[in-house]
Structure 1
Amino acid sequence: MDAQGPILSPTLPDDADVAVRVRGLVTGFGDKVIHDGLDLDVARGEILGLVGGSGSGKSVLMRTIIGLQTARAGRIAIFGHDALDPDPEAQRALRRKWGVLFQEGALFSGLTVAENIEVPMREYLALPDAVLAGLAAARLRLVGLPADAGAKFPSELSGGMKKRAGLARALALDPPLLFLDEPTAGLDPISAAAFDDLIKVLKETLGLTLFLITHDLDTLIAICDRVAVLGEGRVLACGTIEQLRNFDHPWVQAYFAGARGRAATSGTPNETKAA
């Protein structure tokens, strides 16, 4: 095996502390195969970025890991527990271990922000309304939203506030694992940089593990410990930005070592975003 192989492998050693472990995953729609024998490990406590070309199956991979789409074959373990276990009670218990921020926040338009945050609490926790309201208010503070945001409806929020509200809901049950799908998409550079900073602070203060889908090179550089590159139905490589810039694959080279990649790494991430 060449020197790049073990360094940029999508899998970690068997004795590594792994939050998410995917082996031999096969997914598809009809006759179209999306992932074919995909392997990937996410280490506990890291921020793993996931990139890939349009149609490479980034969101499909995330949705399959969290059980919103059915795998055709393969194994998925989350904190050592079988994520494909058909037992409903086992699935319910496992779902409490993660939170999800979907694209655009995916807030319920007919509920206030506070009510949106309370949704997972009401599903899993038997607590009085006053306690739920207090917990929702605490999540708002955690993501940097003002107290009066809780009474507003999603339509009354800016794009950045919607993202933060969605993040507050993802944190409702204090999960150790977060899945974020294009968290800075649609935000202006300053708001995107502020959201990156928030994610990094939450990761460090709460000890979170994050699986983050993004096209934003600045986000990858600013907060990700490793980046996995999806293509050809599998993870082509997984490593640091610098390692990926030296990885000999046409798409990886074009993405990380091309003009945009060089521009993103020419200064500090926040300087690039705010320019």
Structure 2
Amino acid sequence: MSPTLPDGADVALRVRGLVTGFGDRLVHDGLNLDVARGEILGLVGGSGSGKSVLMRTIIGLQPARAGQISIFGRDALDPDPAAQRALRRQWGVLFQEGALFSGLSVADNIEVPMREYLDLPGSVLAGLAAARLRLVGLPDDAGAKFPSELSGGMKKRAGLARALALDPPLLFLDEPTAGLDPISAAGFDGLIKLLKETLGLTLFLITHDLDTLHAICDRVAVLGEGRVLACGTIEQLRAFDHPWVQEYFAGARGRAADASIPAMSAA
């Protein structure tokens, strides 16, 4: 259950010896993690374990104190602005609650990264935004609405459409089903899995949702004590001898989530 993959593996994201912190407090201390190209990796951990800090460090929103990060073989910590700009096109991010700009329409939100990176006429950008809306299952009229006019599930899908604006091969999703009812959450999980399969995406997914972990994740990494404690399938993690991991995956909630999967599949 090593967090690193064997030599020769097709790795989309590689983290080695990562150290992060705030003031005198270390958040990560020598963290290692690999994400294989084409997989959905779920990241779990207790409150304050540094899940969002890890994601923000990988995408350059939080500075690293030490370590290495590479994305598709390119140095994500390269200080050169041109290199950073080129690398940022390789990923999209769905933040919690969608993080849409409240003063812009949904279509304009989706066009924001396109306007930054693509020199295209407005009519073409509008067509591309409409295509992203259809891709995530939103109706055509959603583009003209403002975020305040959307339900929670629609906001998540609109945020996902913006994350897909530049056709990135890598997506970061921070608690994508948080706040959704079980039916909406299951529908969003199905959408993520479909996009992964049809577009060949690699996904780094932070979640507390055991149903999501069971339904769509290929592997799960457990964050704690400043590092990745273990990484593997849920079956492998159930056999990992650590109190938090055992309680999370083999406790009552973990057993309930496991028992729900056949019923969900049958439906």
Q: Structure 1 length as normaliser, TM-score?
A: 0.96
Residue 170 of structure 2 aligns with which residue? 177
Q: Does the CA-based 8 Å contact 1:48-1:228 persist in structure 2?
A: yes
Partner of 2:52: 59
Question: RMSD between aligned alpha carbons?
Answer: 1.0
Tell me the CA shift for residue 13 of structure 1: 1.1
2:259 aligned to 251, 266, 274, which one? 266
SS of aligned partner of 1:103: coil
- From the superposition, tell whether residues 39 and 171 of structure 1 become closer, same or farther in structure 2 (CA, over 3 Å): same
Any idea what SS the aligned residue of 1:254 has? helix
Query: Of 147, 150, 169, which residue of structure 2 is paired with 1:157?
Result: 150
Match of residue 135 from structure 1: 128
Point out where structure 1 has 5 or more consecutive residues left out of the alignment: 1-7
Query: 1:195 and 2:198 equivalent?
Result: no
Question: Aligned residue for 1:4?
Answer: none
Structure 2: state its 5+ residue gaps. Answer: none
Percentage of identical aligned residues: 88
Whether the 8 Å contact between 1:196 and 1:223 is mirrored in structure 2 is yes
Residues in 1 aligned to 2:56 and 2:4: alpha-carbon distance in whole angstroms: 20
Aligned residues: 266
Residue 109 (structure 2) pairs with residue 116 (structure 1): yes
The amino acid across from 1:56 in the alignment is S
2:227 is equivalent to residue 234 of structure 1? yes
Look up the equivalent residue of 1:97 and give its one-letter code: Q
Instruction: Provide, for residues 16-47 of structure 1, a one-character-per-residue CA deviation record: whole Å limited to 9, x for no partner.
Output: 10000000000000000000000000000000
| Alpha-carbon shift at residue 56 of structure 1 (Å) | 0.0
Structure 2: how far apart are the matches of 1:271 and 1:114? Answer: 33
Distance 1:108 1:247, change over 3 A: same
Q: Is 1:212 the equivalent of 2:205?
A: yes
Q: Which amino acid aligns with 1:84?
A: L
Secondary structure of the residue aligned to 2:27 is strand
Deviations 1:105-135 (A, max 9, x none): 0000000000000000000000000000000
Question: Relative to 1, partners in 2 of residues 1:188 and 1:270: Cα closer, same or farther, differing over 3 Å?
Answer: farther
For residues 224 and 107 of structure 1, the distance between their equivalents in structure 2, rounded to whole angstroms, comes to 26
Relative to structure 1, is the Cα distance of residues 39 and 21 closer, same or farther in structure 2, using a 3 angstrom cutoff?
A: same
What is the letter of the counterpart of residue 124 of structure 2?
V
Using the alignment, how far apart are the partners of 1:243 and 1:136 within structure 2?
Answer: 41
CA distance in 1, matches of 2:187, 2:202: 19
Aligned counterparts of 1:271 and 1:48: Cα–Cα separation in 2 = 21
Deviations 1:218-262 (A, max 9, x none): 000000000000000000000000000111000000000000001
Q: Which amino acid aligns with 1:237?
A: A
Please give the alpha-carbon distance, in whole angstroms, between the structure 2 residues aligned to 1:269 and 1:92: 44
* Match of residue 80 from structure 2: 87
Residue equivalent to 1:12: 5
Q: In 2, Cα distance between the equivalents of 1:14 and 1:153?
A: 47
Report deviation, 1:269. 6.5
> What's the offset of the Cα at 1:268?
1.4
Compared with structure 1, are the counterparts of its residues 270 and 199 closer, same or farther at alpha carbon in structure 2 (3 Å cutoff)? farther
Work out which of the residue numbers 251, 255, 258 in structure 1 matches 2:248: 255
Counterpart position of 1:50: 43
CA distance in 2, matches of 1:37, 1:15: 22
Q: Secondary structure at the match of 2:188?
A: helix
Identify the residue that residue 167 of structure 1 maps to in structure 2.
160
Cα distance in 2 for partners of 1:167, 1:240 equals 26
Q: TM-score by structure 2 length?
A: 0.98
